[in-house]
């Protein structure tokens, strides 16, 4: 779709505008493998180097400003340096930063999550979504006495070997395919790990009928249903679990529940999480130096308290409008553009067919890379793969600028 000449021109313009970022990238390669420490943030020719951020705006080391519609991959639901969170974090840090014992900040956050999420009767904290997923797996193994798992193609639950690639304990099946799930379930399966919306896989929502069948099949097979809400918690006050009215055994949470600070959590029924109670015979041991970190707990609670039902509804409505504008702009420029959406997340696909499974997502790396570079040149910061996650601080004026940025980016790609 994008000509080689157009793509080369985008790269030249990007390099001409970001010489400081180029120098940072060259410096980074001397001490960091590939010049970064987070695979998902890499893109060619090099990523811009951010020096500051406030609200919906981030600024790179060359002084270029961008409207941030990625918000650290869904974790900054109130944008950057959100005043109430900053004040809370400073106050918490002045109280000692982290303690070698339980504290009330953990309880405050846990109580809020229990009140908020329909699947969470009790909470156990970790330091990331990956750690939370691995803990959910350990709980499922201990509860069921089984050691295999069903995961979905295109799903993402973290970067550990068991959950990030081929593994003898894992069966992967197509998303939105209830028959495939039923066929994979037997008496060796401890749990089915399920995202209500494939995030990394292209923001593909689960079909409601599929979700109902998933609960039925897993229950009949004696396997736990683990709902991964690391990204989808923002979709409703009680997360996607509330939207789908799904009866989950365990729920994985992270990202926005830390207000921008590292955190993860497993929620679930009291009977399942009892396996972590050290006063219970046969309890499994689970520790972590920074579990329930004071600053993360306080900042997370503040962020969640400001993530009200009306705030979520406004974000979701804004995302729907933006998705429509992006599709209209793509068509106006003669480009195949499909936008999938779930709550306040969307994904821009450069293809004609709407995907319902990860296998339906077309990956033309040149076209995707060209759109990303064109957006950066228009002052819009989205994920290199096409993901967008809005924040509560984006106003109608900001969103109009974002829509215009996409229109101009498409014009660049179409050679206009």
Of 306, 322, 354, which one is at a domain's C-terminal end?
306
Instruction: Mark whether 181 and 72 lie in a shared domain.
Output: no
Which residue range is the domain that position 68 belongs to? 4-77+309-414
Average pLDDT over residues 268-292: 96
Instruction: Mark whether 57 and 204 lie in a shared domain.
Output: no
**Rounded percentage of the chain residues whose pLDDT exceeds 90:** 97
The 10s digit of each residue's pLDDT in 108-144 is: 999 999 999 999 999 999 999 999 999 999 999 999 9
In the prediction, which pLDDT does 245 show? 97
- Tokens representing 51 are 């020096």
Q: How many whole angstroms separate alpha carbon 346 and alpha carbon 323?
A: 7
> What's the CATH code of the domain at 352?
3.90.1150.10
In the prediction, which pLDDT does 363 show? 75
Instruction: Mark whether 300 and 320 lie in a shared domain.
Output: no
In the prediction, which pLDDT does 1 show? 82
327, pLDDT greater than 70: yes
The 10s digit of each residue's pLDDT in 139-176 is: 999 999 999 999 999 999 999 999 998 999 999 999 99
In the prediction, which pLDDT does 199 show? 94
Instruction: Mark whether 214 and 197 lie in a shared domain.
Output: yes
Beta-bridged to residue 172, according to DSSP, are 151
DSSP 204-233: EEPPHHHHHHHHHHHHHTT-EEEEE-TTGG
- b/e code 230-251 from CB counts within 10 Å (16+ = b): bbbbbbbbbbbbbbbebbbbbb
> Model-level pTM?
0.96
Of 272, 306, 340, which one is at a domain's C-terminal end?
306
For residue 45, cis peptide bond before it (omega within 30 degrees of 0): yes
The 10s digit of each residue's pLDDT in 31-49 is: 999 999 999 999 999 999 9
Instruction: Mark whether 102 and 187 lie in a shared domain.
Output: yes
Instruction: Mark whether 99 and 210 lie in a shared domain.
Output: yes
The 10s digit of each residue's pLDDT in 356-404 is: 999 999 877 899 999 999 999 999 999 999 999 999 999 999 999 999 9
Instruction: Mark whether 289 and 382 lie in a shared domain.
Output: no
416, pLDDT greater than 90: no
Of 282, 306, 330, which one is at a domain's C-terminal end?
306
Average pLDDT over residues 339-357: 97
Instruction: Mark whether 363 and 387 lie in a shared domain.
Output: yes
Instruction: Mark whether 129 and 261 lie in a shared domain.
Output: yes
195, pLDDT greater than 90: yes
> What's the CATH code of the domain at 281?
3.40.640.10
275, 133 contact by CB (below 8 A): no
Instruction: Mark whether 180 and 211 lie in a shared domain.
Output: yes
The 10s digit of each residue's pLDDT in 47-62 is: 999 999 999 999 999 9
Average pLDDT over residues 232-253: 98
Instruction: Mark whether 106 and 252 lie in a shared domain.
Output: yes
Instruction: Mark whether 180 and 165 lie in a shared domain.
Output: yes
Q: How many whole angstroms separate alpha carbon 261 and alpha carbon 116?
A: 20
Average pLDDT value over all residues in the chain: 97
* Contacts of 106 by beta carbon, 8 Å cutoff, 6+ apart: 125, 292, 297
Total domains in the fold of the chain: 2
């Amino acid at each position: 779709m994008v000509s080689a000449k157009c793509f080369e021109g985008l790269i030249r313009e990007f390099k001409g505008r970001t010489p400081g970022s180029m120098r940072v990238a060259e410096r980074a390669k001397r001490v960091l493998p590939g010049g970064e420490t987070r695979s998902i943030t890499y893109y060619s020719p090099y990523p811009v180097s951010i020096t500051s951020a406030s609200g919906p705006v981030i600024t790179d080391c060359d002084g270029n400003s961008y409207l941030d519609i990625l918000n650290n991959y869904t974790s900054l639901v109130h944008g950057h340096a959100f005043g109430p969170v900053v004040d809370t974090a400073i106050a918490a840090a002045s109280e000692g930063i982290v303690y070698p014992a339980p504290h009330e900040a953990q309880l405050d956050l846990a109580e809020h999550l229990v009140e908020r999420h329909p699947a969470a009767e009790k909470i156990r904290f970790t330091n990331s979504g990956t750690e939370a997923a691995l803990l959910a797996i350990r709980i499922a193994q201990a509860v069921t006495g089984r050691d295999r798992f069903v995961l979905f193609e295109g799903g993402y639950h973290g970067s550990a070997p068991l959950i990030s690639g081929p593994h003898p304990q894992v069966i992967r099946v197509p998303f939105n395919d209830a028959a495939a799930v039923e066929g994979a379930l037997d008496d060796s399966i401890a749990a089915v790990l399920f995202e209500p919306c494939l995030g990394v896989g292209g923001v593909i929502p689960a079909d409601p009928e599929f979700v109902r069948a998933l609960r039925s099949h897993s229950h009949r097979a004696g396997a736990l249903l683990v709902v991964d809400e690391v990204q989808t918690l923002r979709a409703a006050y009680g997360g996607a679990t509330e939207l789908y009215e799904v009866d989950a055994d365990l729920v994985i949470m992270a990202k926005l529940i830390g207000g921008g600070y590292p955190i993860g959590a497993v929620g679930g029924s009291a009977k399942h999480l009892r396996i972590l109670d050290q006063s219970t015979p046969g309890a499994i041991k689970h520790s972590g130096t920074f579990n329930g970190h004071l600053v993360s707990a306080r900042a997370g609670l503040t962020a969640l308290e400001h993530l009200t039902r009306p705030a979520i509804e406004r974000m979701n409505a804004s995302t729907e409008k933006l998705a429509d504008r992006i599709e209209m702009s793509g068509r106006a420029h003669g480009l195949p553009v499909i936008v999938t959406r779930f709550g306040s997340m969307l994904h821009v696909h450069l293809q004609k067919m709407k995907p319902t499974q990860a296998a339906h997502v077309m990956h033309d790396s040149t076209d995707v890379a060209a759109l990303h570079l064109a957006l950066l040149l228009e002052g819009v910061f989205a994920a290199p793969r096409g993901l967008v996650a809005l924040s509560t601080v984006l106003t109608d004026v900001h969103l109009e600028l974002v829509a215009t940025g996409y229109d101009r980016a498409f014009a660049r790609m179409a050679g206009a």
